[in-house]
Amino acid sequence: MTYGMDVREPMRVPQSAEIIDYVVRNGARLDDAHRFLIDRTRELFGDRAGMQIAPEQGALISLLTRLIGARKAVEVGTFTGYSALCIATGLPADGELLCCDISEEWTGLAREGWRRAGVDDRIRLRIGPALDTLRGLPDVADIDLSFIDADKPGYRAYYEELLRRTRPGGLILLDNVLFGGRVLDPAADGPAAALRELNPALAADDRVDLVVLPLADGLTLARKR
């Protein structure tokens, strides 16, 4: 790969299992509630546990929540609650996280994890189509941070509803934007195709400052200007 005349390619560490384990051990502080949600999700939902965000990703999200002083947050796609736990622990005691999901089964486990962590009073869960929930929010730009991790074809609509309600300087995070590398395959359809269209559209969106990180399955950070 070339970056231009006389520009060296930057160093990159291969993402081996050993490196990821090292990163988690040294860069993601997992307490009992985090471990509970990781272990119980694997026990109860098997292969679906892959829908849970990576621990190092959760650590970054929690840190970002603190860094921007977020008090009001929204999550689209909660699954068993690990990412919501990471956001909620980054909020102040009087902060609020609105979680949108369609599964009572998955979020039943989430509620237990939040209770164990002592952050359940900061989280409001809405069961139902997320787009309906978002469109029902006040049309006021007062959201500090949002995390989108749901059906990939719906990402653009979720993003637009959240961006108009995000304060200047607020963040929107989008997960799985590399989709296992399948965004590079022009023949891939379904979620990969939706993300393949979304990613360049967000890169060209002059309403935000943006970076795509090759973290876990790809994480986009968009800061509203």
Transcribe 131-199 into DSSP letters. HHHHHTS-S-S-EEEEEE-S-GGGHHHHHHHHHTTEEEEEEEEEE-SSGGGGGG-TT--THHHHHHHHH
Every domain of the chain and the residues it spans: 29-224
Q: How buried is 212 (Cβ within 10 angstroms: 0-12 exposed, 13-18 middle, 19+ buried)?
A: middle
Q: What's the CA gap between 44 and 129, in Å, rounded?
A: 24
Report whether 146 contacts 72 (CB < 8 A): no
What pLDDT is attached to residue 11?
A: 83
What pLDDT is attached to residue 136?
A: 98
Q: What's the CA gap between 67 and 83, in Å, rounded?
A: 17
| pLDDT over threshold 80, residue 7 | no
What pLDDT is attached to residue 110?
A: 97
| pLDDT over threshold 60, residue 177 | yes
What pLDDT is attached to residue 4?
A: 52
Indicate the average pLDDT of the chain.
95
pTM of the model as a whole: 0.94
pLDDT band, very low/low/confident/very high, at 114 (cuts 50, 70, 90): very high
| pLDDT over threshold 80, residue 6 | no
H or E segment to which residue 93 belongs: none
At 45-61, the pLDDT tens digits run 999 999 999 999 999 99
What does the buried/exposed string (b/e) look like for 62-85 if buried means 16 or more CB atoms within 10 Å of the residue's CB? Answer: bebbeebebbbbbbbbbbbbbbbb
CATH architecture group of domain 29-224? 3-Layer(aba) Sandwich (3.40)
Q: What is the DSSP letter of 215?
A: S
What pLDDT is attached to residue 12?
A: 85
pLDDT band, very low/low/confident/very high, at 10 (cuts 50, 70, 90): confident
Q: What Å distances lie between residue 186 and 1, 102, 198, CA to CA? A: 20, 31, 14
pLDDT band, very low/low/confident/very high, at 8 (cuts 50, 70, 90): low
